[in-house]
Amino acid sequence: MRIMGLDFGAKTVGVAVSDPLGITAQNIEVIRRTSENKLRKTYARIEELAVQYEVERFVVGLPKHMNDTEGERAQKSREFAENLERRSGIPAVLWDERLSTVQADRVLEESGVRKENRKEYIDGIAATFILQSYMDYLSRDSK
């Protein structure tokens, strides 16, 4: 079963997909848009990728605060996941994404990517961390 991980942001969506066995996550794309509220093309692109990769589930990052509360971004992520599920017919799971962007930034820094160039990659890598975390949870839970 292939799973797609999504890091939903104000102007970008990082996209990662699992291998067919659901063991590893890989970054495939960052979808960019000019306005936060213009999502039609974003949904369409995600649906294209879901068909291409034969995705059976979406995992959408849920940006919680460190004290476990949710803010405006979390609500927008919930709405995004609900709309995506309704449009595509593919189940969408919300997954705690706390510190995924921090992890992604750290990996880019350790890889020698200059600070001004990290923005280009960070959302895709964050999506990979979100998806990998979810898949690790599934594999631990099934033991």
Please write the tens of the pLDDT for every residue from 39-49: 999 999 999 99
CATH T-level fold of 2-141 = Nucleotidyltransferase; domain 5 (3.30.420)
- Determine the pLDDT at residue 100: 65
- 116 against 82, higher pLDDT: 82
- Where are the domains positioned within the chain? 2-141
Of 121, 139, 120, nearest to 18 (Cα)? 139
133-142 average pLDDT score = 85
CB 2 within 8 A of CB 18: yes
pLDDT tens for residues 3-50? 999 999 889 999 999 999 989 999 999 999 988 788 999 999 999 999
Which contacts of 51-56 are long-range, i.e. CB under 8 A and separated by 24 or more positions? Answer: 53/2, 53/4, 53/17, 53/28, 54/2, 55/2, 55/3, 55/4, 55/17, 55/90, 56/1, 56/2, 56/3, 56/90, 56/91
Mean confidence (pLDDT) of the chain: 88
Would you say residue 102 has pLDDT above 80?
Answer: no
